[in-house]
Structures are given as structure tokens and as C-alpha cells.
Amino acid sequence: MAPFPLALAELMGHWGQYIVYLLIGIAFGFALEVSGFANAPKLAAQFYFKDMTVLKVMFGAIVTAMVLIFLASGLGLLDFSLVYVNPTYLWPGIVGGLVMGVGFILGGFCPGTSLVSAAVGKIDGLIFVLGVLFGIFAFGETVGFYEEFWYSSYLGRFTIPEWLGLPYGVVVVLIVLMALFMFWGSEQLERIFGGRDLSQEPKWRIYAGAGLLGLAVLVAFIGQPDTAEKWARIEATEMARLDNREVQIHPAELAKTMTDDTLRTIILDVRPEADYNLFHLQEARHAPLAQLPALLDELHDAPANTVVVVVGNDETAATEVWRYLRAESVRSAYILEGGINNWLRTFGDETFVAENALTGVGDDQLAFRFPAAIGSAYPFAAPNEQLAAGLTYTPKIVLEVKRGPGGGGCG
């Protein structure tokens, strides 16, 4: 996705990326410090409704980042599917939030702000950091007793728009409206409980809120790109790879990949179910185009050493699915050259091929007759390493850089 197609390590180099991380960390810590987040009494004052700086700064940062992310996504500058979203474990998350909330009230810090306080030399912040480290150690030593609960109610990459069944842009506007109401309400609480004179507050905050709402409405108006729009943005580059036969891998290369312990191979068989039941490769999954949206989260979250290979009878249906996967930013995706028909010609038993080859079959049709629908039980469904080793082909598989998980926020 233009204009940021490469990972930071590729753009800045190995050590250059750490300089960027350091600068971002310094800027974030500075922002927290100047906002008073190193001061435990100031942080605790929000629970007495006297000083709501924590809510306004943190929630303001969250909604600003949200608007900019989805604006960039709508303009094609960012692929939101590649932005790491913490997986949802509903009940463990609720319990963890309560534990952290109680700790925040009692100690006056959350983990992030305690680091800021310790960094500027405050004793209470340092003690809180030591408590956090002890808690991490205690959790690691005891998680085995409640591990089943810890991994329960897993919802995966679950977002508010998915929960509400609303477009992302509409949810962005609703959340910004909620934030503005909370900002107004927090100022009223500060006026009532903290004696704050709102007439002395800067007027620019009103204009900033109006500007943020305006950007949110723009996000809703632009919308988020669908698969066809995503493909249009990368079509020139990806079609060149298709035309140059850079993504169509020889059956022998797939066979080698399937037996390579350093790689995780996901084979997506996109043929009709009847053909799949007749014969399919070992560990291949039946995944026609209509079922692919449900697999995207799994494919995006797959380890960096994952290779995705799309298999059809020939290449027509497989190419369509490959285009979909690339538009949806699935990394290291390839097409089996010539499909299952070519696999059978390469690895099939000579007698089987001679006796069961069909003539006059149409495009992307199975070119062999099978005496029984036993799927991968045929011996040539598994890779023949000895035969593959004797075949000549040009290796094409190159693992693409995969984004890693990130974190943020108060914790």
C-alpha cells in the first residue's frame, strides 16, 4: 500500500529502526510528563472528579489516533488489516481491567505512568514499578492454576464495528461524539468538585474538538476500501508478477515446501467440493473464494515463516483467489503452477495417469478420472521427496516481511 509498502527495518535499517523507536518513546514519555502523569496525586484526583486530565489526555490521544488511522486507511495510505489489534479474551480482559483499575486507584499509577514517574526520579513511581515487576513474576508462576480461564472466551480480532454491525466510519463518528460529550462532562465535574473556572480555559479546545469531529465525518464520507479498491491500488505491481510467472511455483517446489520443517505451509484448495473430495493434496484445506473472508484473520496472524499456496485444477480459479489474498494483504502467497492437473502429471503413478487421463476437458476442469472419492488417501497426494529432488525448476518462494504485534495505551 503506497506510500509505506516496506517494514520500518527495510526503510531505516536494523539500527535505524531502533532510533525511531527511541525517539517515539522519548516523545511519548515527554508528553506524559508535561501532562502531569508523573504525579500520583494528580492522577488519583480523577477518581474524586477534581482533575480529569488523565481521561482527557488519554482518551483524546485514542480518538485522535483512531480518526487518523481510518482516514489514512480510507485514503489508501494504510492497510488497516495489517495493523495489529490485540485479540479479545472477553472475561479474562474484564477481570484484568478490574485488577488494573483497583491498582490504579490504590497506587495512583497505571504501569505506563509509573515508568514516567520512576524515570523522573520519584520514589513512589519507582516502588510502583517494582510492584508491577513482582506482579508479572507472580502471574508467570501461578498462571498454570487458572490457564483455562486465561484463554477462555476467545473472540480473535474483534472490533466495535463488527460487534455493532456498522460501517467503520459511522462508528468513528459515534466514538468521537461520545468523546466530546465525555470531555464536556469531565469539565463540568471539575467545575463542581474541583472549583475549576472554565471561563479561563483556552478557546482553542473547542475548535480542536470541532476539527476532530469534522475529520470523523470525512472518514465516514470516504468510507473504507473494499477488496476491489485495494486490488486496484496494487494491480500494476501484482499483475506484473503474475505476467512474469513470479508467483506460480512448480509442483516440486511445493513438495519441497511441504516437507520443510522450517516453514509452515498452508494449502488452500479452491476447487469445487466434488473435485476436492475426489482428490486433494495432503493437509490441503477446502477454501473456495466465498469462505476466504472467514480465514483472513488466521492468515494475517500466521507466523512469519508461513507460505500460502493456492491450488486449483489449473490456474484460473487459483489466480482469482490469489488476487483476493494479495488485495487483503496476505503475505507470501503463491499459486501451484498448472494446479492439481500438473501435480498429477508430475507425481502421479504412471499407470494411473495413463489409464485415467481425460481428453477434451474445459478450462480449470479436473483432467483425470478417479475410481473413488478418497481425497488425500491416494499415495501421490503426499509429496514424493525423491522424485521432487530430481526435477529441475526455478525456486520462487521468498518469505515476505511480516508486521509484528505492537502495544500502547496506558498499560
Domain spans of the chain, in order of start: 8-226, 228-389
Per-residue pLDDT of the chain in tens (411 residues, 90 and over written 9): 333 444 566 677 778 888 988 998 889 888 888 888 888 888 888 889 999 988 898 899 999 999 999 999 999 888 888 888 888 999 999 999 999 889 888 888 888 889 989 988 999 999 999 999 999 999 999 999 999 999 999 988 889 999 999 999 999 999 999 999 999 999 999 999 999 999 888 999 999 999 999 999 999 999 999 999 999 999 999 999 999 999 999 999 999 999 999 999 999 999 999 999 999 999 999 999 999 999 998 998 889 899 999 999 999 999 999 999 999 999 999 999 999 999 999 999 889 999 999 988 889 999 999 999 999 999 999 987 788 788 999 999 999 876 545 555 555
Burial of 249 (0-12, 13-18, 19+ CB in 10 A): buried
Terminal Cα distance for the chain, rounded: 30
Q: How do beta strands 333-336 and 248-249 pair?
A: parallel
On the question of a cis peptide bond just before residue 3, with omega within 30 degrees of 0, the verdict is yes
**CA separation for the pair 349, 355 (Å, rounded):** 10
- What one-character-per-residue DSSP string does 232-276 give? HHHHHHHHHHHHTTSSEE-HHHHHHHHT-TTSEEEEEE-S-HHHH
Length of the chain: 411
Nine-digit cell string for 394: 526455478
pTM of this structure: 0.79
> Residue 403 carries which DSSP code?
P
Give the whole-angstrom CA distance, residue 8 versus residue 152.
34
Q: What is the pLDDT of residue 161?
A: 94
Q: Among 1.20.1740.10, 1.10.357.10, 3.90.79.10, 3.40.250.10, name the CATH number for the domain at 228-389.
A: 3.40.250.10
CA–CA distance from 347 to each of 268, 315, 352, 355, 384 (Å)? 19, 18, 11, 15, 7
For cell 514499578, the residue is 129
DSSP 8-state class, residue 377 = G
